[in-house]
């Protein structure tokens, strides 16, 4: 934003501030009146509403409990009457068994074929005796249906599987069923008295409940179970047909929280929020007449005493609150009208102040425009000159702009360009020097990598390696070469430290180890001892080298090896299993003279691969500072079983890169792979 515009806006802002302060007192007075009125109006409405909510909640809860009790008693009267009929008929049947029945049982003879098929292989004598005993029961079944219309079916299931019923069609419906396996049968026997079943679906797809009781002979032996089936519609037509507008629902549930009957769909009822809240708020096993209330409903419940059920009535709390809400809205509307009047008066005051502000803005605009021109001209000169300097013309110089701040700024910029020219010259020299050093380091890197062998012509073996320095040059190195005509020497080592110093010491260590290895009849532990003593003598920087060195008989695969503080190699067997080669670690080379390094032996079989590496592999870290570790190394080597050694080396490196991701490489990475491809032999480890 230009300075002229800033000056203009500043003056306009000052004028606005003064105007606003002058009008604030008047405006605050109107606002305070309006706020006080609205707050008092809201408080009055809230107090009225809370009082009425409490009263309606109390009266609604009493109504909900009363309705639940009334409906529960209505159903209980029917159930008590049906239970009485069931107990009476039970007594009559037990009397028949006590007296032995009658010889005239022609009224049951038409069911003989069915009874034979249902009983558990009874004798003819047993069937005759049962028909004789229960012949007189047929009028009982017919009579109970006449005197009690709510009973849709009456029947007796004997303990031996026979069934006596009030309906011929019932025999056909249960012809293939054993009624003794039904839940109501088992529950009645277990209860030893009258038992009401839960809701179930009959063979006609209608919903039923069964009232059942066990029947015993005079010795107390179970005869069977007498049962009455009642259609749900017979129970629910009085209680569950919700016609009152204040009802939401009415339903019956058992003590396990299962909805048995409802004025709504059963699944819909169980999924209603008020049902879930009701279940969680009450102890179903001990619940008596009570209520539960939430924001939208009042729930009353009461036990049906003759059963283990609860009858629940749900009333619409919002509907009961409608009159109170209507009054509250009316009072609120009156308050809103009063607030509107106050707002209109306040608006008139604002219009007057707005007119004053517009006049003041016009006056300030004219004054500020003239003032800004006298200030912004020197600024434009400075801006244009700075643009020329920014484009690279460091010889540009400002003319004298006076003794004020603008003139001082111009003089400062003139001095800055002189110093900037001097600095740019120094930067150019530093860049040239850096380029020279980078070129020399590139040459050193090429020389260092050129000293490392890539492959070797060794009959019966495939050998390869790679080294990636963390900086331009590194301290890791590897080597493999023939000792005589029948031995292969292989080395992997890691010099402490990074950069040029480590690279120079690496070169010395590589030459010392190779020279010592090519001496006649030197063992691998003697080799490390010689190299250690020589490096201790030529080590002013006090660096040290971890190393793993092995000498292998090309014909047999027999190898002796020694370790100077280095990581153990990994061997990949022919069957795909992988493991670390055991090592006896000693101090690194150049750490202490006359260190003794124990010799160990192994044998590399045909098809087996030996992988050597430096700690740059296993100690590589990701951004979470997690180590790559031994487990991941073994896993990737196992996964690369069957690959060429070139694929093994680069596969391990790729897996490390995947783990490290965007994290920087802090250590050199070296990997060597040796695979025996000659005649298959057994490997012997010692």
Segment 467-484 mean pLDDT: 87
Q: Identify the three-state secondary structure at position 401.
A: coil
Query: Does any domain span residue 125?
Result: yes
Could you tell me the two tokens for 129? 């005796």
Could you tell me the two tokens for 68? 């639940």
CATH number of the CATH domain containing 610: 3.60.40.10
| Domain end (from 180, 201, 235) | 235
DSSP string, 40-73: HHHHHHHHHHHHHHHHHHHHHHHHHHHHHHHHHH
Q: How confident is the model at residue 681 (pLDDT cuts 50, 70, 90)?
A: very low
Specify the pLDDT at position 626. Answer: 95
pLDDT tens-digit map of 612-626: 999 999 999 999 999
Segment 56-60 mean pLDDT: 78
Tell me what the pLDDT averaged over the chain comes to: 80
Statement: residue 515 has pLDDT above 70: yes
Statement: residue 422 has pLDDT above 90: no
Statement: residue 78 has pLDDT above 80: yes
Q: How far is CA 433 from the centre of its chain?
A: 56
Query: Does any domain span residue 147?
Result: yes
Specify the pLDDT at position 639. Answer: 97
Query: Does any domain span residue 516?
Result: yes
Specify the pLDDT at position 471. Answer: 77
Q: Which of 570, 563, 554, 557 is nearest to 673 (CA)?
A: 570
Specify the pLDDT at position 23. Answer: 65
pLDDT tens-digit map of 130-162: 777 777 777 788 788 888 888 888 888 888 877
Query: Does any domain span residue 482?
Result: yes
Statement: residue 496 has pLDDT above 90: no
Statement: residue 398 has pLDDT above 80: no
Query: Could you tell me which residue, 366 or 477, shows the higher pLDDT?
Result: 477
| Domain end (from 235, 250, 276) | 235
* Long-range Cβ pairs for the range 516-525 (8 Å, 24+): 517/481, 517/483, 517/489, 517/491, 517/549, 517/551, 518/481, 518/483, 523/551, 523/560, 523/599, 524/549, 524/550, 524/551, 524/560, 524/561, 524/562, 524/599, 525/562, 525/596, 525/597, 525/598, 525/599
Strands (E), 507-575: 545-553, 558-564, 570-572
Could you tell me the two tokens for 50? 């809370």
Query: Does any domain span residue 64?
Result: no
Query: Could you tell me which residue, 661 or 112, shows the higher pLDDT?
Result: 661
Q: How confident is the model at residue 240 (pLDDT cuts 50, 70, 90)?
A: low
Q: How many domains does the chain have?
A: 2
CATH number of the CATH domain containing 182: 3.30.450.20
Segment 169-192 mean pLDDT: 79
Find the angle CA(644)-CA(649)-CA(653) to the nearest 5 degrees: 140
Specify the pLDDT at position 117. Answer: 44
Structural domain of 462? 451-676
Q: How confident is the model at residue 644 (pLDDT cuts 50, 70, 90)?
A: very high
Q: Which of 500, 502, 477, 503 is nearest to 490 (CA)?
A: 477
pTM above 0.75, yes or no: no
Specify the pLDDT at position 45. Answer: 67
Q: Which residues are CB-neighbours of 546 under 8 A, at least 6 positions away?
A: 493, 494, 564, 565, 566, 567, 588, 589, 614, 615
pLDDT tens-digit map of 525-534: 999 999 999 9
Specify the pLDDT at position 66. Answer: 84
Rg for the chain (alpha carbons), in Å? 52
Query: Does any domain span residue 156?
Result: yes
User: How far is the CA of 566 from the CAs of 159, 342, 562, in angstroms?
Assistant: 85, 90, 10
The CB density around residue 469, as the number of other CB atoms within 10 Å, is 23
| Domain end (from 205, 235, 265) | 235
Specify the pLDDT at position 684. Answer: 34
Statement: residue 243 has pLDDT above 70: no
Give bridge partners of residue 293 from the DSSP assignment. Answer: 298
pLDDT tens-digit map of 261-274: 777 776 677 677 77
Specify the pLDDT at position 686. Answer: 31
Query: Does any domain span residue 183?
Result: yes
**What is the share, in percent, of the chain residues with pLDDT greater than 70?**
75
Segment 464-474 mean pLDDT: 84
* Helices 524-537 and 499-517, axial angle in degrees (round to 10): 140
Pairing of strands 222-231, 207-216: antiparallel
Specify the pLDDT at position 17. Answer: 77
Edge to edge, the sheet with strand 309-316 lists: 259-262, 247-254, 309-316, 297-304, 290-293
Specify the pLDDT at position 266. Answer: 64
pLDDT tens-digit map of 428-447: 676 566 565 555 555 556 66
Query: Does any domain span residue 426?
Result: no
Specify the pLDDT at position 380. Answer: 74
Specify the pLDDT at position 610. Answer: 98
């Amino acid at each position: 934003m230009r300075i002229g515009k800033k000056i203009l806006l500043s003056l306009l802002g000052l004028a606005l501030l003064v105007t606003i302060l002058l009008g604030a007192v008047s405006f605050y007075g109107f606002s305070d009146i309006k706020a006080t009125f609205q707050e008092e109006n809201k408080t009055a409405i809230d107090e009225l509403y809370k009082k009425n909510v409490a009263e309606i909640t109390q009266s609604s809860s009493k109504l909900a409990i009363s309705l639940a009790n009334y409906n529960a008693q209505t159903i209980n009267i029917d159930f008590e009457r049906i239970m009485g009929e069931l107990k009476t008929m039970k007594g009559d049947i037990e009397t028949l068994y006590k007296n032995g029945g009658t010889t005239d049982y022609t009224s049951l003879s038409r069911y003989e074929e069915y009874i034979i098929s249902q009983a558990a292989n009874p004798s003819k004598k047993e069937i005759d005796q049962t028909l004789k005993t229960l012949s007189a029961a047929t009028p009982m079944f017919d009579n109970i249906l006449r005197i009690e219309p709510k009973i849709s079916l009456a029947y007796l299931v004997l303990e031996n599987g026979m069934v006596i019923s009030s309906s011929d069609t019932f025999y056909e419906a249960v012809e293939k069923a054993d009624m003794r396996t039904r839940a109501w049968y088992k529950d009645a026997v277990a209860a030893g008295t009258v038992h009401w079943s839960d809701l179930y679906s009959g063979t006609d797809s209608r919903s039923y409940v069964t009232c059942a009781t066990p029947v015993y002979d005079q010795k107390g032996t179970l005869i069977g179970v007498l049962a009455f089936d009642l259609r749900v519609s017979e129970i629910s037509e009085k209680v569950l047909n919700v016609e009152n507008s204040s009802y939401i629902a009415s339903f019956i549930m058992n003590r396990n929280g299962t909805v048995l009957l409802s004025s709504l769909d059963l699944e819909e009822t169980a999924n209603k929020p008020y049902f879930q809240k009701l279940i969680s708020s009450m102890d179903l096993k001990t619940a008596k007449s009570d209520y539960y209330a939430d924001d939208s409903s009042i729930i009353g419940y009461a036990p049906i005493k003759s059963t283990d059920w609860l009858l629940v009535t749900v009333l619409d709390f919002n509907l009961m609150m409608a009159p109170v809400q209507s009054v509250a809205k009316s009072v609120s509307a009156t308050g809103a009208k009063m607030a509107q009047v106050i707002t209109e008066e306040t608006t008139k005051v604002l219009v007057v102040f707005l007119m004053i502000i517009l006049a003041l803005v016009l006056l300030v605009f004219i004054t500020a425009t003239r003032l800004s021109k006298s200030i912004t001209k020197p600024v434009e000169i400075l801006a244009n000159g700075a643009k020329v300097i920014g484009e690279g013309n460091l010889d540009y110089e400002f003319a004298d702009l006076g003794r004020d701040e603008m003139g001082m700024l111009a003089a400062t910029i003139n001095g800055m360009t002189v110093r900037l020219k001097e600095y740019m010259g120094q930067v150019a020299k530093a860049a040239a020097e850096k380029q020279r050093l980078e070129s020399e380091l590139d040459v050193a890197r090429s020389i260092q990598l050129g000293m490392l062998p890539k492959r070797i012509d060794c009959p019966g073996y495939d050998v390869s390696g790679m080294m990636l320095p963390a900086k331009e040059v590194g301290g890791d190195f590897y080597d493999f070469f023939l000792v005589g005509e029948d031995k292969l020497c292989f080395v992997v080592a890691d010099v402490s430290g990074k950069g040029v110093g480590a690279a120079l010491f690496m070169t010395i260590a590589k030459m010392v180890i190779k020279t010592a290895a090519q001496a006649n009849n030197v063992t691998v532990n003697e080799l490390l001892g010689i190299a250690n003593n020589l490096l201790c003598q030529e080590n002013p920087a006090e660096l040290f080298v971890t190393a793993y060195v092995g000498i292998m008989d090309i014909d047999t695969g027999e190898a002796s090896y020694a370790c100077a503080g280095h990581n153990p190699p990994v061997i990949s067997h022919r069957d795909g299993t992988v493991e670390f080669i055991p090592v006896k670690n000693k101090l690194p080379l150049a750490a202490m003279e006359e260190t003794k390094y124990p010799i160990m032996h192994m044998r590399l079989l045909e098809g087996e691969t030996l992988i050597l590496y430096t700690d740059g592999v296993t100690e590589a870290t990701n951004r979470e500072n997690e180590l790559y570790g031994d487990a991941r190394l073994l896993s990737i080597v196992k996964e690369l079983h069957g690959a060429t050694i070139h694929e093994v080396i680069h596969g391990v490196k790729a897996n490390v890169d995947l783990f490290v991701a965007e994290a920087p490489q802090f250590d050199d990475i070296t990997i060597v792979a040796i695979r025996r491809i000659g005649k298959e032999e057994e490997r012997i480890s010692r």
